């Protein structure tokens, strides 16, 4: 029991550290909220830590990062698509540099973790661009500057695989494009500064009972009637931070790159579509990824999955078995990426938790599609007409299903990590 005020403050600060370690990217502050003097002290500490992180990155990961980008942009611009062996060698060297940069990265914050994800994605995209797709500059680009600009734009642009509903309207002018991206950058920065106070939204007086092992999954609490609003809110906030940290970091970096590419280097607007889609369209797990979540890595994963499926397993990609294997392989590659980029030592490290989580996502997407196909087939055979009310009902049901899945399965590792970290602190 904590009987004194100092003991309560110590416990609250320990909770801040525990949640910060388990979820990542959260500030170490009291669950009750700091005073103005404490806030100023924390801000100075956070600023100093940010500068130290930047300095550490510049010292450790800057060289392999820059070298990898130079190699891939130059290879795309100047290596002939017929020089297969040279392209393969460039892809291997780039991958080695990317993984060296990942190894040197601390990966303790959402920014560093997103950077590691980006470098892993760069290695995958390099192999896609240079080897599998064998891309080369258009014939009308003849000068060195034009070819380098094309190579750099291809390297950074997320347009590959982006559907028309993800793009800006064709009538968008350069001025409108820049104003939208500037507004987006300001909104992201403001929101990030607000939510970075990690325990701002958590229930007060957090303690080990909030992440008890019996609460790792939500379904048992729903079935036996023990799930409280506090438990539900804690899960919601955990999921919010798990997704918002990476989403804001990725979207912010993409917005800055878009402003530089279009505003300074006059890149085509259509090469820089919005990174995230409309969340109201995410009423199935599949549409969560296809219509809302970013597609920065989609093609890199699916192209490799198609190659393995067709060349390695002998399945055609347009068949049901082929499509199913491609989905599972794509999520497996995504899980491997997140495992590698979040790899760190320690007794509470669960290196393969991301692989399990993403594979579960892929399996449930296939199950979801099977159920929907069977339902639609029954309607077709019985010739039952669809009504507008029924369509609204199933879309609302779909949104509830997606939210339930995200709360039930995607943050279980945060619970187990919290349980482990707290138990070690108690020893």
Q: Which token pair is 159?
A: 């347009």
Neighbours of 279 (CB within 10 A): 14
Distance CA 348, CA 51 (A): 28
Give, for 100, the enclosing helix (H) or strand (E): helix 84-104
Spell out the per-residue pLDDT of the chain, length 427, in tens. 333 333 333 344 444 444 444 454 443 333 344 444 444 454 445 555 555 666 666 667 888 999 999 999 999 999 999 999 999 999 999 999 999 988 887 766 667 777 888 899 899 999 999 999 999 998 888 899 889 888 888 887 766 555 666 677 778 899 999 999 999 999 988 888 877 665 567 777 778 888 888 888 999 999 998 999 999 999 998 888 888 878 888 888 889 888 988 888 888 888 788 888 888 999 999 999 888 888 788 888 999 999 999 999 999 999 999 999 999 999 999 999 988 887 777 677 777 888 999 999 999 999 999 999 999 898 888 888 888 888 899 999 999 999 999 999 988 888 888 888 777 655 4
**339 contacts 355 by C-beta, under 8 angstroms:** yes
Q: Would you state the pLDDT for residue 11?
A: 41
How high is the pLDDT of residue 10?
Answer: 32
Number of neighbouring beta carbons within 10 Å of residue 382: 7
Q: Tell me how far apart the alpha carbons of residues 301 and 295 are, in angstroms, rounded to a whole number.
A: 10
The verdict on pTM exceeding 0.85 is: no
The tokens describing 354, both together, are: 């991301």
Looking at residue 165, its pLDDT comes to 61
Residue 242 has, within 13 A of its CA and on its CB side, a CA count of: 20
Residue 29: its pLDDT value, please? 33
Closest CA to 72 of 145, 138, 128, 139: 128
What gap in Å lies between CA 285 and CA 263, rounded to an integer? 36
pLDDT computed for residue 114 by the predictor:
79
Q: What is the predicted pLDDT for the residue at 57? A: 64
Please report the pLDDT score of residue 158 as a whole number: 62
């Amino acid at each position: 029991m904590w009987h004194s005020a100092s003991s309560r403050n110590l416990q609250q600060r320990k909770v801040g550290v525990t949640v910060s370690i388990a979820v990542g990217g959260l500030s170490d502050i009291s669950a009750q909220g700091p005073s103005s003097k404490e806030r100023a002290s924390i801000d100075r500490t956070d600023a100093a830590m940010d500068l130290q992180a930047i300095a550490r990155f510049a010292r450790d990961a800057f060289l392999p990062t820059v070298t990898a980008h130079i190699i891939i942009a130059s290879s795309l611009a100047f290596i002939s698509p017929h020089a297969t062996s040279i392209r393969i060698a460039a892809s291997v060297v780039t991958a080695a540099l990317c993984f060296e940069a990942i190894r040197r990265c601390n990966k303790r914050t959402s920014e560093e973790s997103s950077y590691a994800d980006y470098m892993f994605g760069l290695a995958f995209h390099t192999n896609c661009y240079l080897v599998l797709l064998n891309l080369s500059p258009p014939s009308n680009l003849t000068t060195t500057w034009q070819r380098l600009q094309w190579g750099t734009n291809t390297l950074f642009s997320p347009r590959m695989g982006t559907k028309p509903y993800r793009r800006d309207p064709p009538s968008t002018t350069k001025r409108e494009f820049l104003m939208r991206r500037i507004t987006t950058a300001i909104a992201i920065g403001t929101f990030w500064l607000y939510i970075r106070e990690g325990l701002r939204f958590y229930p007060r007086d957090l303690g080990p009972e909030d992440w008890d092992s019996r609460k790792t999954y939500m379904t048992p609490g729903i079935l036996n009637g023990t799930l409280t609003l506090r438990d539900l809110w804690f899960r919601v906030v955990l999921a919010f931070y798990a997704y918002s940290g990476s989403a804001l970091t990725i979207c912010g970096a993409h917005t800055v790159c878009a402003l530089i590419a279009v505003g300074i280097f006059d890149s085509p607007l259509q090469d820089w579509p919005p990174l995230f889609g409309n969340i109201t369209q995410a009423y199935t797990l599949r549409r969560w990824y296809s219509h809302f979540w970013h597609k920065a890595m989609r093609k890199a994963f699916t192209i490799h999955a198609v190659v393995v499926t067709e060349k390695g397993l002998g399945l055609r990609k347009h068949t049901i078995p082929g499509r199913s294997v491609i989905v599972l392989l794509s999520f497996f590659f995504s899980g491997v990426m997140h495992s590698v980029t979040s790899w760190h030592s320690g007794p509470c490290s669960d290196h393969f938790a991301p692989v399990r989580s993403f594979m579960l996502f892929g399996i449930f997407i296939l199950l979801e599609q099977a159920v929907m196909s069977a339902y639609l087939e029954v309607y077709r055979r019985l010739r039952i007409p669809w009504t507008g009310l029924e369509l609204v009902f199933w879309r609302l049901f779909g949104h509830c299903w997606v939210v339930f899945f995200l709360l039930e399965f995607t943050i279980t590792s945060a619970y187990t990590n919290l349980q482990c970290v707290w138990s070690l602190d108690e020893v």
